[in-house]
Structure 1
Amino acid sequence: MRAVVYDTVGATPEVRQVPRPACPPDGVVVDVAATGVCRSDWHAWRGHDPVPLPHVPGHEWSGTVAEVGPEVPSGAAGFSVGDRVTAPFVLGCGRCAWCAEGNAQVCPDQQQPGFTYAGSFAEQVVVHAAATNLVRLPEAVDLVAAAALGCRFATAFRALTGVARVQPGEWVVVVGCGGVGLSAVMIANALGARVVAVDVSEAARARALELGAAVALPAEEAAAAIHEVTGGGAHVGLDALGSPTTLDTSVRALRRHGRHVQVGLLLGDAAEAPVPWGLVVGQELQLFGSHGMAAVDYPAMLAMVADWRLDPARLVGCVIGLDDAGAALAAMDDPSPAGGGMTVVSLAPR
């Protein structure tokens, strides 16, 4: 099959012929219809997140089942060849206590396509433990739009619904309006919250307003402005970027008893970023981490997509072919201004 491969950190990704993947007994092989180009793939390519080499990137995708392992349930409760599917970027083992509780996103034996094994920049990708991880897509959900769900959109959805538990009428501040942040703006607005979007980029702020933000503010001294706009601070703050500055802004923007959710990864030295603990203790703030979303939680999100309360297709900016995927990944060395939309690789049906 054709796949995008790089042999060493930072080497030019190129399309080449590789063996088709073997189907695991408890898993499936999927014909990839579309796959997103995500900054997490860029981090791995640049060596910030070690991966086995040579490597095929890609971790957010949609497609149809091509082969089913003998241990996968079939029929209405299982999966069959031809089913339209997607999966989270974190695949639980399906055997541990965390998976049994519906928390595969923190499975200690998790696998991640595009990181721990070959990903979806290819004509086929494998899903292990399909009964735990595979998600059937409603016919109303377009396959290109579905490729936006597995990482950025689903991560934002669970951060707001499952972790922060956003309520209608609450103020939600989203700091960093890239893929996760713009998804969070759209989702929070659909949940009935009032959204303040914060970003250094004017283009990103404008896009956030288009997607439902009530207010968009530049990053400089945003916390003070948020307290004025919201009448005392946000109920929920979400750091969608992951930096000491964006974390600090989100926490300081909260009202008393506010909830901060850390979604953006803080890498390297930033992982030790300070937190204003005086505010956390004195105002009884709550701090949460949020890492993806398990397959068991997808139905609520897909229902909102199917009835148009959420439209992830609005986040897609560019659709390219597999031959251009490596160049799109490398282009993230010099990213265009935020707000331009995510790039999706579409694979022509065979």
Structure 2
Amino acid sequence: MIGATYNTFNEPIKVSTDLPIPHPSSDGVVVKIMATGVCRSDWHGWRGHDDDVKQFLQANGTPFIPGHEASGVVVEVGLDVRNFRVGDRVAIPFILSCGKCRECGDKRRRPTVCEDQHQPGFTMHGTMAEFCAITRADRNLKRLPPDVSFVEAGALGCRFTTAYRAVLQQGKLCEDGNSSEKTVAVFGCGGLGLSCIMIAKAFDAQKIIAVDVSEHTLQLSLKLGATDVICAKRLDSKLLQKDENVQQTILDLTDGIGADLTIDAGGFEQTCIDAVWACRRGGRMVQVGLPAKQAALPMARVAGREIEIVGSHGFSSVADDTGVSALDHILELVETGRLQPRKLVEREVSLAEGIEVLMNMNTSSPRGIVMITDFGGSRQSSNTNKFDNCV
């Protein structure tokens, strides 16, 4: 089969054409991949920032296939699988929880932090290939409604569901029923940050503040639901400098109070620090972006203002301690038109083009989601950008 592979960190990712087609485990299936997204988490894995990828390469010594947000069609079923059959259209969650550890158990029900989770593209070969073997299928796979396309489902596979958990389950935007009176500030408006904005908009946040370094991205943020935008850098004598007034600007936009919910979706030291500073007294800051290094947080402010800082790790298709499966609810939102993930798909590309996007993600990150839909390499790079007419 054809797939994207690398053997060591930071080496050029290549298109391999002679990879073996995987076989299903007894509890798993093989999925023909119809759409898979290019995510910054894949870049982190390729750069050597992820311990699971390190362990996989050390243990297996084989070319590694990245990719973790995808949809496709079941083409082979393991002996013990009961809920799926060949031909089923499915969404693939990137956390395949075990259902047996204490975190998955009835008392905790937090499958997103399963002690023995499998993750395509991290603990196992990923979805940037024609086929992918998915373990624990009965527990984790989700059958797609007929009206949800593969591209939409692929967009849901990581960023939208991760955003759902960050904004609603960990951020608790709707916990007291007053989301229409709340302010949300999102720092870093790549695919994940923009998804957070769309989720906050879908659940009626009163004010949504987008913070990013790209004016083009901020314009898109406004189209997708942001009420206010802040550009975190300015052009001064042809040198890009950090705007030191980000924190104060958010206070000005919130009558000096700060945001009820701040989300660091960028994963940079400064976005993390700014998200804490922008939080109101008794507010909540969610860390969902993956930092490459430690941030020196203003912990005296955290203590003095009783700010809650919580982490948010992906999502699970299995209902968690809230009793809600993020994927089930999001599929319902897409079916009813309340959430439109297609608006966030910047373009569809070939596997070779997707590899280029991945390797350059730290210097030229796409404004939205880049979706690989062609593994034969026939698609040309002249794809039009859909954002200009997204609304």
Interval of TM-score (by shorter of Structure 1 and Structure 2) = over 0.9
Distance 1:59 1:104 in 2: 17
SS of 1:319's partner is strand
Which residue identity does 2:81 align to in structure 1? V
Which residue of structure 2 lines up, in the alignment, with residue 229 of structure 1? 253
Q: Is 1:283 paired with 2:305?
A: yes
Distance 2:36 2:195 in 1: 17
SS of 1:295's partner is coil
On the 8 A contact 1:93/1:128 being kept in 2, the answer is no
Which residue identity does 1:346 align to in structure 2? T
Which residue of structure 2 lines up, in the alignment, with residue 196 of structure 1? 209
Aligned pairs for 1:175-186 within 5 A: 175-186=187-198
Q: Is 1:217 paired with 2:230?
A: yes
Cα deviation for residue 181 of structure 1 reads: 0.3
Which residue of structure 2 lines up, in the alignment, with residue 174 of structure 1? 186
Which residue of structure 2 lines up, in the alignment, with residue 26 of structure 1? 27
Gaps of 5+ in 1: none
Cα deviation for residue 251 of structure 1 reads: 1.1
Distance 1:21 1:240 in 2: 34
Which residue of structure 1 lines up, in the alignment, with residue 286 of structure 2? 261
Distance 1:107 1:123 in 2: 28
CA pair 192-202 structure 1, distance change in 2 beyond 3 A: same
Q: For the aligned residues, what is the CA RMSD? A: 1.7
Which residue of structure 2 lines up, in the alignment, with residue 133 of structure 1? 140
Which residue of structure 1 lines up, in the alignment, with residue 240 of structure 2? none
On the 8 A contact 1:25/1:70 being kept in 2, the answer is yes
CA pair 289-124 structure 1, distance change in 2 beyond 3 A: same
Distance 1:7 1:280 in 2: 42
On the 8 A contact 1:239/1:263 being kept in 2, the answer is yes
Deviation per CA, 1:155-194, whole angstroms, max 9, x where unpaired?
A: 1111111111113221000001011100001110111002
On the 8 A contact 1:15/1:323 being kept in 2, the answer is no
Comparing 111-120 and 315-324, the one that deviates more: 315-324
Match of 1:343 among 370, 379, 387: 370
Runs of 4+ in 1 over 4 A off after TM superposition: none
On the 8 A contact 2:129/2:375 being kept in 1, the answer is no
Match of 2:356 among 310, 327, 331: 327
Which residue of structure 1 lines up, in the alignment, with residue 3 of structure 2? 3
SS of 1:17's partner is coil
Cα deviation for residue 329 of structure 1 reads: 2.3
Aligned positions, number:
340
Cα deviation for residue 112 of structure 1 reads: 1.2
CA pair 255-189 structure 1, distance change in 2 beyond 3 A: same
Which residue identity does 2:231 align to in structure 1? P
Which residue identity does 2:299 align to in structure 1? W
Distance 1:90 1:259 in 2: 25
Aligned pairs for 1:58-137 within 5 A: 58-73=67-82, 78-101=83-106, 102-137=109-144
Which residue identity does 1:11 align to in structure 2? E
Cα deviation for residue 330 of structure 1 reads: 2.4
Which residue of structure 2 lines up, in the alignment, with residue 207 of structure 1? 220
On the 8 A contact 2:354/2:370 being kept in 1, the answer is no
On the 8 A contact 2:161/2:314 being kept in 1, the answer is yes
On the 8 A contact 2:130/2:375 being kept in 1, the answer is no
Cα deviation for residue 205 of structure 1 reads: 0.9
Which residue identity does 2:94 align to in structure 1? F
Distance 1:348 1:8 in 2: 22
Distance 1:315 1:333 in 2: 19
SS of 1:250's partner is helix
Which residue identity does 2:250 align to in structure 1? I
SS of 2:33's partner is strand
> How high is the TM-score relative to the length of structure 1?
0.92
Cα deviation for residue 333 of structure 1 reads: 5.1
> How high is the TM-score relative to the length of structure 2?
0.83
Comparing 327-336 and 145-154, the one that deviates more: 327-336
Distance 1:17 1:121 in 2: 14
Which residue identity does 1:262 align to in structure 2? Q
Comparing 200-209 and 64-73, the one that deviates more: 64-73
Which residue of structure 2 lines up, in the alignment, with residue 248 of structure 1? 273
Which residue of structure 2 lines up, in the alignment, with residue 154 of structure 1? 161
Which residue identity does 2:251 align to in structure 1? H
Distance 1:131 1:320 in 2: 31
Which residue identity does 2:102 align to in structure 1? A
Q: Percent identity?
A: 43
SS of 1:98's partner is coil
Cα deviation for residue 348 of structure 1 reads: 7.0
Deviation per CA, 1:25-54, whole angstroms, max 9, x where unpaired?
A: 111111110100112112222222225241
Deviation per CA, 1:42-92, whole angstroms, max 9, x where unpaired?
A: 22222222252411111110001111212222xxxx222211111221221
